[in-house]
């Protein structure tokens, strides 16, 4: 968020807007906008985009706290959630009192250091390669080999079950310098099957 605001401030100043005007647009003080511009001139884009490391011990997690969080990551997500996210993990480990407090950046770094990507998954469907399976597979492949025909088109159909969610509270729309915001609470509205089809041509 901080990096985005600074980038927007630099862009608007480059377009000729005054520091007070940029501050009004982005919800910053004119002094803050002036410091962003000065830091860019003095130290360049990299320095203005990211803060220098602060002195003192960096916040971290001890070994036991890391193991507790990793155990949560490797467990199923809460009911109604398809997968873990950094935000959801942060809220959950604090809710379970696994750590006194922790930030999303610490969770993100922990996941990265252990090569954990809970938002990704792989799916496969491989049947038993017996004679019956091979015969059915050959039947399907023969259909794909048929020449195109408007009288007998080849249609691909697939189905996917989904959980229907509805926001519990109104969301806050996006504004200049501020992303759209949505409350993490939601209401379940049952399930539905989505069918899709594609005609070969």
CA–CA separation, 20 and 59 (whole Å): 36
CB-based burial of residue 177 (10 Å sphere; 0-12 exposed, 13-18 middle, 19+ buried)? Answer: middle
pTM to 2 decimal places = 0.37
Angle at 3 between CA 175 and CA 19, to 5 degrees: 70
CA–CA separation, 39 and 60 (whole Å): 29
pLDDT tens for residues 7-20? 888 888 888 888 88
Number of H helices, E strands in the chain: 8, 2
CA atoms within 13 A on the CB side of 195: 3
- Taking residues 162-187, report their average pLDDT: 85
- From the centroid of its chain, how far is CA 38? 33
pLDDT tens for residues 96-126? 888 888 888 888 888 888 888 888 877 777 6
Confidence band for 153, pLDDT divided at 50, 70 and 90: confident
Helix or strand run (H / E) with residue 65: helix 63-73
Helix or strand run (H / E) with residue 104: helix 104-113
Q: Which two tokens stand for residue 149?
A: 């025909």
CA–CA separation, 160 and 56 (whole Å): 51
Please give the pLDDT value at position 1: 56
Percent of the chain clearing pLDDT 70 (strictly above): 90
Confidence band for 47, pLDDT divided at 50, 70 and 90: low
CA–CA separation, 77 and 46 (whole Å): 37
- Taking residues 167-186, report their average pLDDT: 84
Return mean pLDDT, the chain: 82
pLDDT greater than 60 at residue 55: no
Helix (H, G, I), strand (E, B) or coil at 124: coil
């Amino acid at each position: 968020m901080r990096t985005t605001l600074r980038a927007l401030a630099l862009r608007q100043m480059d377009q000729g807007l005054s520091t007070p005007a940029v501050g009004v647009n982005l919800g910053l003080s004119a002094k803050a906008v002036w410091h962003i511009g000065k830091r860019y001139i003095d130290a360049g884009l990299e320095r203005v985009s990211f803060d220098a490391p602060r002195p003192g011990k960096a916040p971290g997690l001890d070994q036991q706290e890391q193991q507790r969080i990793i155990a949560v990551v490797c467990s199923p997500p809460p009911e109604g959630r398809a997968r873990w996210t950094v935000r959801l993990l942060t809220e959950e480990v604090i809710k379970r009192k696994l750590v006194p407090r922790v930030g999303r950046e610490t969770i993100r770094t922990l996941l990265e250091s252990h090569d954990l990507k809970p938002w990704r998954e792989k799916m496969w469907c491989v049947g038993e390669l017996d004679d019956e399976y091979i015969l059915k597979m050959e039947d399907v492949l023969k259909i794909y080999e048929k020449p195109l025909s408007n009288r007998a088109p080849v249609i691909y159909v697939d189905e996917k079950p989904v959980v229907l969610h509805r926001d519990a509270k109104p969301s806050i729309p996006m504004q200049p310098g501020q992303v759209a915001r949505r409350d993490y609470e939601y209401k379940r509205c049952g399930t539905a099957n989505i069918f899709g089809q594609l005609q070969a041509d």
